[in-house]
Chain A
Amino acid sequence: MSPDTSLPLLLGLAWLLPLASFALIVLFGPKMGKAGILASYVATGAILGSFLLSLTAFGIWHFGHLGARDDVVAAADAHHEAATGEHDERSAGHDAGAGHAGHGLPTAPPKVYTEDLYKLGQFGALKLSISYYIDSLTVLMFSMVSLIASLIHFYAFGYMHDELHEVTDHEVTLSDGHHLHRPGRFHRFFQYLSLFCFSMLGLVFAGNILMVFVFWELVGICSYFLIGFYIERKSAQNAANKAFIVNRVGDFGMIIGLMALWASLGTFAFGDIDGKLGIFSSVRPADNDYKLQVPDGMVRLSAMSEITAGTPATSQQIASWREQGYGYWMLVIAGVGIFCGCVGKSAQFPLHVWLPDAMEGPTPVSALVHSATMVAAGVYLAGRFYPVFAPEVLLVIAYAGAITLFLAATIAITAVDIKRVLAYSTISQLGYMMLGLGVGGWAAGLFHLITHAFFKSLLFMCSGSVIHATHTNDMRRMGGLRHKMPWTAYTMLVGVLAIYGAAIPFVIGFSGYYSKDSIVAQVLSFYNANPTHGGIFFALSVGGAGITAFYMFRLWFMTFAGKPRDHHVFEHAHESPPVMYVPLAVLAFFAIVVGFPWFPFSVVKLLEQARPMGAFASGWLLPTLAYPEEHLSHTDAIHGLAEVSLFFVALAGLVLSAAFYAFGRLNPNDVRKQFAPIYRLLWNKWYFDELYNAIFVRPVLFLSKLVANFDRRFIDGAIDGLARCVRSVASLDDVIDRYFVDGAVNVLAAWTYSIGDSLRSLQTGKLRQYVMLIVIGTVALTLLIRWSVAASG
């Protein structure tokens, strides 16, 4: 079987298995064993099957050398080696493989398998189909998502066991003062998890932007279901609604981007299918050396006023219009629109507000959906769409990422809810990824996406284990728990070290060290090219790393180190069952090794196999904006500097954190008093919720109240009046009916009755009388006839 049939088959099956599990649980969930316990076996089996299939695909990809691009592999190998670093950034792409072997842009396009699986419909030029787009990024994402999802399924089996019997929800008080008592919903949880896995894998598998959009929304609705899993809690309802509505805002932008692309290009497909140009090759045509250019369709659409009716524009005309900048805006709008969707899904500033509230869901959901996979989908899509983004769009992405990473990191400093700290850290890390992508570090951003998925799901599952043991989210009531739950404590320490980026510089480190370093190195490289923008990015990203170190160790120290603060909580704490801590150990292993660049199948090398073709173009709106190619950041001058600065800043954060929370040298309360205004600002999350409340929520509520009033007064009033009219007409009808119609009928009946009554006396019941009457009658009749005949005759 050749890879072009086996890869789609394997990944397609891996994609559809969770759907089958979802369908089974929907239909038979409550009947699956006691309280639906078998549903978890079905769901776990399905996702485990997906993982094995993905792993097989991974093996086929790697050992078949499908993505081999010699120059790229060489470049990845040479990451930490010295480079001349003197050549011009722009020309680097053209002499790659010649003068500087192994340092440069890929010379061949990435190996991609893309095909239509099934045509849903064709409406004129609009073709809707289920198609796939498989490159090494797809294979990598499939393996990562299915591995993490499998582990989380196992973990959830332990975490959700409360749902196997009747549940008393202590956070819901009914109107009669009792706590809510409800049947367990074990199977429903796994049903949603399966649907989520199906949607997420479909999003990665998708070969056209429309399919991406469909699965994008499916992922969103799963998130809604899972955040609102404890639907009886007011806070869960609000959080689910908030997540869904905020995501709609982003998706609105995405739809605009989709429209811009379809209207101008007439296709949704990423790659070239059946000789029809896909989005990527329209934007970066091979005959333009894969450089970004405004596609003909966009030029033609924008230059509508120049085109004389009836005569199609010649290619020279189009070329000259392109020179004048026609259509460039459209490309920017398409890029920013698609990025809007990513902003919503990946919780970037200014739509980051939903993610912390989404922690209302059960912790396995937070680990899977709100840290490792779904929120990463935005970053994935930004990476997938990379060829389409104009430099101006990339700058927008970089700014959104930089602001997000700093904002979220500062909020995490003061948060006391263990899951919220992690939620803000997720937002912050997603900001890093976006920043990495935005400054030209395609591989760096996606590399961080993969490593972050492992250590963040590990951190979340550890926090879930703590919550499971202590029944509280408040870190102020924890402390000293490492004695009670060593597995959780030390696996979490691994996660903390991974996100901290712990390493012996230039030698070896946890996974976060490699990915974060490559992002910051690219930021530094960008700074050299564009000092104004780059300065901000560099300061925020390095500062953010320091803050990350501070709040992550603060979390660990507050939870596991020191003396227990609440003895009641401490007494009741216990280590979680093996079904929960074994996945933690597995994830901890991956959090350490997934970043290592030396394996032949390391993440970096796989990513390099999928790197989009083509050098960065200069922007048309911002012509001074220059993007350095990513491989230039691998030089010692840049990478080394980034590494060293990160190392010391993060160390400073660690030391500060230890001084506050481990050794008690500094008292957090004093600092809190000293910087009261800043503390209040951070404690209230920069007042974003209040701001949105004032700007959007209140006016909308006011407007809806107004509309409701209008509805009640005018529309309801009109309907009420109409009803009253009908009633009065009906009462008139009633009078007519009663007196005239009924009267006539009654009179007739009375007559009939009285006639019958008077005829009664004839019926004597005397048989002989009847015979006599018959005889008399007959005789009389005969005589009558005779006489009448005689009279007439």
Chain B
Amino acid sequence: MELLSQPVGVSHFLVVGAVLFISGVVCMAVKRNALGILMGIELVLNGANINFVAFSSPTLNRETAYVLGLDGQLISLFVIVLAAAEAAVALAITLNFYNNHATVDVDRADELKG
């Protein structure tokens, strides 16, 4: 509980990012709906993004040794672009899957199993 008494810093952001990441993973692991899984993916990506942003911020970091600077922000921008592209592809796959199987249940997508 030491964290709550301190001024907002990198650690707080890391906690939020971790929470988002874990929520995303859990969402991916438990949802059977493909759209739910896509949402989980978004959460995971954004959890990671928050970490990058936090580490790149000069105001949050007192110890300059950890500062990523613009690199971190650019990486997070890339991740956003990547997420958009990934969403477009994944949604297209999902839509096709729906057209063929009349459902978006990922457990039904096991035709390529070994």
Q: Which residue of B lies closest to A775 (CB)?
A: B25
How many Å lie between the Cα of A506 and that of B63 in the bound state?
A: 149
A120 at the interface (CB under 8 A from B): no
Which residues 36-90 of B have a CB within 8 angstroms of A?
37
Q: How many Å lie between the Cα of A164 and that of B31 in the bound state?
A: 94
Q: Is A765 an interface residue (CB 8 A)?
A: yes
Per the bound structure, the CA–CA distance linking A764 and B107 in Å amounts to: 10
Q: Which residue of B lies closest to A772 (CB)?
A: B29
**Does B2 belong to the interface (CB within 8 Å)?**
no
Is B37's CB under 8 angstroms from A767's CB?
yes
Residues of B within 8 A of A765 (CB): 109-113
Pairwise interchain contact A761-B114, C-beta atoms closer than 8 A: yes
CB-contacts of A752-773 with B (<8 A): 759-768, 771-772
Q: Which residues of A contact B30 (CB under 8 A)?
A: 768
In the bound complex, what is the Cα–Cα distance between A767 and B111 (angstroms)? 12
The answer for the CA separation of A763 and B109 in the assembled complex, in Å, is 12
Partner of B109, one of A760, A767, A772: A767
> Is B32's CB within 8 Å of the partner chain A?
yes
Closest chain A residue to B112 by CB distance? A765
Best-buried of A762, A767, A772 by chain B (most CB within 10 Å): A767
A34 → B minimal CB distance (Å) = 72
Number of interface residues of B (CB under 8 A): 15
Chain A minimum-CB-distance residue to B26:
A775
Q: Specify which of B32, B112, B114 is in contact with A762 (CB 8 Å cutoff).
A: B114
Q: Which residues of B contact A760 (CB under 8 A)?
A: 114
B20 on the interface (CB 8 Å rule)? no
Report A730-788 residues with CB < 8 Å from chain B CB: 759-768, 771-772, 775
Q: Which residue of A lies closest to B29 (CB)?
A: A771
Interface string of B9-30 (1 = CB under 8 A from A): 0000000000000000100111
Q: For B110, what are the chain A residues with a Cβ–Cβ distance below 8 Å?
A: 764-766
Task: Report the interface size class on chain A.
Answer: 10 to 19
Bound: A766/B32 CA distance, A:
10
Residues on A with beta carbons closer than 8 Å to the beta carbon of B29? 768, 771-772, 775
Say yes or no: is B92 at the interface (Cβ < 8 Å to chain A): no
The interface bits of chain A over 231-263 (1 if a CB of B lies within 8 angstroms of the residue's CB, else 0) are 000000000000000000000000000000000
Given the complex of chains A and B, what is the CA–CA distance between A771 and B22 in angstroms? 12
Q: Which of B25, B28, B107, B113 is the one whose CB lies under 8 Å from A763?
A: B113
Q: Which residues in B have their C-beta under 8 angstroms from that of A761?
A: 114
A763 nearest in chain B by CB position: B114
Contact call A771/B111, Cβ cutoff below 8 A: no
Question: For chains A and B in complex, what number of residue pairs have CB atoms within 8 angstroms?
Answer: 36
Instruction: Write the nearest CB–CB distance from A770 to chain B, whole angstroms.
Output: 9
Residues of B within 8 A of A763 (CB): 112-114
- Tell me the smallest distance from the CB of A656 to a CB of chain B, in Å: 115
- B106: interface (CB < 8 Å): yes
Question: Hey, which chain A residues are within 8 Å of B32, CB to CB?
Answer: 768
Question: Which residue of the partner chain A has the closest CB to B28?
Answer: A771
Question: A768's closest neighbor in chain B, by CB?
Answer: B29
**Roughly how many angstroms separate A337 CA and B94 CA in the complex, as a whole number?**
103
How far does the alpha carbon of A760 sit from the alpha carbon of B112 in the complex, in Å? 11
Q: Mark A497-531, 1 if CB is under 8 A from B, else 0.
A: 00000000000000000000000000000000000
Contact B107 A768 (CB under 8 A): yes
In Å, the complex CA distance between A430 and B66 comes to 122
Closest residue of chain B to A776 (Cβ to Cβ) is: B29
CB distance from A145 to the nearest CB of B (A): 93
User: Could you tell me the distance in whole angstroms from the C-beta of B96 to the nearest C-beta in chain A?
Assistant: 16
User: Contacts A771-B28, A771-B29, A772-B29; is A766 near B107 (CB within 8 Å)?
Assistant: yes
Of all chain A residues, which has the CB nearest B40?
A771
CA distance in complex: A224, B26 (Å)? 102
Flag if B28 contacts A764 (CB, 8 Å).
Answer: no
Nearest chain A CB to B31 CB, angstrom units? 8
- A759–B110 Cα distance when bound, in Å, is 16
Q: How far is it, in angstroms, between the C-alpha of A657 and the C-alpha of B62 when the chains are bound?
A: 148
**From A756, which residue of chain B is reached at the shortest CB distance?**
B114
In the docked arrangement, what's the CA distance between A419 and B30, Å? Answer: 115
B25 close to A771 (CB less than 8 A): yes
- Once A775-B25, A775-B29 are accepted as A-B contacts, the answer to whether A768 and B114 lie under 8 Å apart by CB is no
Considering only CB atoms, which chain B residue lies closest to A769 in the complex?
Answer: B29
A772-B29, A775-B25, A775-B29 given; A767·B106 CB < 8 A:
yes
CA distance A768 to B32 in the complex (A): 8
Given the complex of chains A and B, what is the CA–CA distance between A140 and B22 in angstroms? 120
Q: For B112, what are the chain A residues with a Cβ–Cβ distance below 8 Å?
A: 763, 765
- What CA separation (Å) do A763 and B110 show in the bound complex? 9
Closest to A761 in B: B114
Task: Specify the chain A residue showing the minimal Cβ separation from B110.
Answer: A765
Residue contact B106 to A768, C-beta cutoff 8 Å:
yes
> Which residues from A are CB-within-8-Å of B31?
768
> Please, which residue of chain A has its CB at the minimum distance from the CB of B27?
A771
Set of chain A residues within 8 Å of B111, measured between Cβ atoms:
765
Measured between beta carbons, the chain B residues less than 8 angstroms from A762 are 114
| Cα–Cα, bound, A69→B110 (Å) | 119
CB distance from B55 to the nearest CB of A (A): 19
Interface string of A456-485 (1 = CB under 8 A from B): 000000000000000000000000000000
Query: Which residues from chain A contact B114 at a C-beta distance below 8 Å?
Result: 759-764
Complex CA distance for A517 and B29, rounded to whole angstroms = 132
Q: Which residue of chain A has the shortest Cβ distance to B31 in the bound complex?
A: A768
- Complex: A761 Cα to B114 Cα, angstroms: 6
B91-114 interface with A by 8 A CB criterion: 106-107, 109-114
CA distance A762 to B110 in the complex (A): 12
Q: Are A768 and B109 in contact (CB under 8 A)?
A: no
A767 to B28, CA, bound (A): 9
A15 vs B111: C-alpha distance when bound (angstroms): 89
Interface code A684-713, partner B: CB below 8 Å = 1, 0 otherwise? 000000000000000000000000000000
For A775, list chain B residues within 8 Å (CB): 25, 29
CB-based nearest B residue for A762: B114
Whole-angstrom CA separation of A531 from B28 in the bound complex: 137
Contact present for A764 and B113 (CB under 8 Å): yes
Other A-B contacts than A765-B110, A766-B106, A768-B29, 19 sampled, CB-CB below 8 A, are A760-B114, A763-B112, A764-B113, A764-B114, A765-B113, A766-B113, A767-B37, A767-B107, A767-B109, A768-B28, A768-B31, A768-B106, A768-B107, A771-B25, A771-B28, A771-B29, A772-B29, A775-B25, A775-B29
Q: 6 A-B pairs, CB-CB below 8 angstroms?
A: A759-B114, A767-B106, A767-B107, A768-B31, A768-B106, A775-B29
- 9 smallest CB-CB distances across A and B, nearest first, come from A765-B110, A765-B113, A763-B114, A760-B114, A767-B106, A771-B29, A771-B28, A772-B29, A763-B113
